[in-house]
């Protein structure tokens, strides 16, 4: 009987020990889970904070990009405005120079320079326009007599590239004014500033050189060709 009681007590002790161990293990697991949950919460909070910081930085970057774009547009608009104003100024300046050169040489020819190309011309016409299709042109000065026509192209500052335009004047003039088909046509280039090599180019092409020397207009037409 005593043996049975002892066996029962031992069984109870074993059960208590087992339950104590299980409770202790459960408490340990609960604590571990609580720690893990805290760590998970911490990591999630860090992640959330990082996402918020990333959003903030992205917004700042977007704002900076918008500001940069705005400044670039303002700079571009200001640059285009300045360039337009500069072009207008240069265009006006170039136009004024061209107008001055035209007036200077036209006045010089009107004031007695009718002897030209070895001939005397009876009539001087200014800024004559030809309107025939494919041959539209303008002639700064035309010197006319019964057998010859002198065509003077005026530039403030002439370059070699202008030579082709001067040579074309003979062709377009004959097309625009067939009345002068039997006239000899001479060409001249009048300019206040000759670029390097231009005078020799005129000589080679048979174009008269008309230029300013002090207060005097100098004409070199010894090498003329009839066009």
| 8 Å CB contact between 141 and 110 | no
pLDDT of residue 96: 56
pLDDT of residue 58: 82
- Flag whether pLDDT at 34 surpasses 50: yes
pLDDT of residue 17: 75
pTM value is 0.57
Percent of the chain with pLDDT over 90: 24
User: How confident is the model over 40-49, as pLDDT tens digits?
Assistant: 778 787 877 7
pLDDT of residue 174: 94
Domain boundaries, the chain: 1-99, 112-220
- Flag whether pLDDT at 171 surpasses 60: yes
User: How far is the C-alpha of 97 from the C-alpha of 64, rounded, in Å?
Assistant: 48
Q: Which CATH class is domain 112-220?
A: alpha beta
pLDDT of residue 89: 42
DSSP the chain: -HHHHHHHHHHHHHHHHHHHHHHHHHHHHHHHHHHHHHHHHHHHHHHHHHHHHHHHHHHHHHHHHHHHHHHHHHHHHHHHHHHHHHHHHHHHHHHHHHHHHHHHHHHHHHTT--EETTEE-SEEEEEEEE--TT--EEEEEEEE-SSEEEEEEEEEEE-TTHHHHHHHHHHHHHHH-GGGTTSEEEEEEEEEEEPTTHHHHHHHHT-EEEEEETTEEEEE-TT----
User: How far is the C-alpha of 54 from the C-alpha of 45, rounded, in Å?
Assistant: 14
Q: Which is nearest to 108 in space by CA: 226, 225, 215?
A: 215
């Amino acid at each position: 009987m005593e043996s049975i009681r002892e066996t029962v007590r031992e069984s109870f002790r074993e059960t208590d020990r087992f339950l104590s161990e299980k409770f202790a293990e459960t408490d340990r697991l609960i604590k571990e889970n609580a720690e893990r949950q805290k760590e998970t919460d911490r990591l999630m909070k860090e992640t959330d904070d990082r996402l918020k910081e990333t959003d903030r930085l992205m917004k700042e970057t977007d704002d900076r990009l918008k500001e940069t774009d705005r400044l670039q547009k303002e700079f571009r608009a200001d640059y285009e405005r300045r360039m337009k104003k500069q072009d207008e100024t240069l265009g006006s300046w170039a136009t004024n120079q061209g107008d001055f050169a035209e007036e200077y040489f036209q006045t010089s020819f009107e004031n007695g320079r009718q002897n030209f190309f070895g001939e005397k011309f009876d009539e001087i016409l200014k800024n004559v326009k030809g309107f025939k299709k494919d041959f539209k042109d303008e002639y700064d000065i035309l010197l006319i007599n019964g057998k010859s026509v002198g065509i003077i192209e005026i530039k403030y500052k002439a370059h070699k590239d202008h030579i082709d335009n001067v040579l074309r004047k003979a062709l377009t003039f004959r097309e625009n004014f067939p009345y002068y088909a039997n006239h000899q046509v001479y060409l001249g280039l009048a300019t206040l500033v000759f670029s390097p090599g231009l005078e020799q180019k005129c000589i080679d092409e048979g174009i008269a050189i008309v230029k300013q020397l002090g207060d005097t207009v100098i004409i070199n037409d010894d090498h003329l060709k009839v066009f």
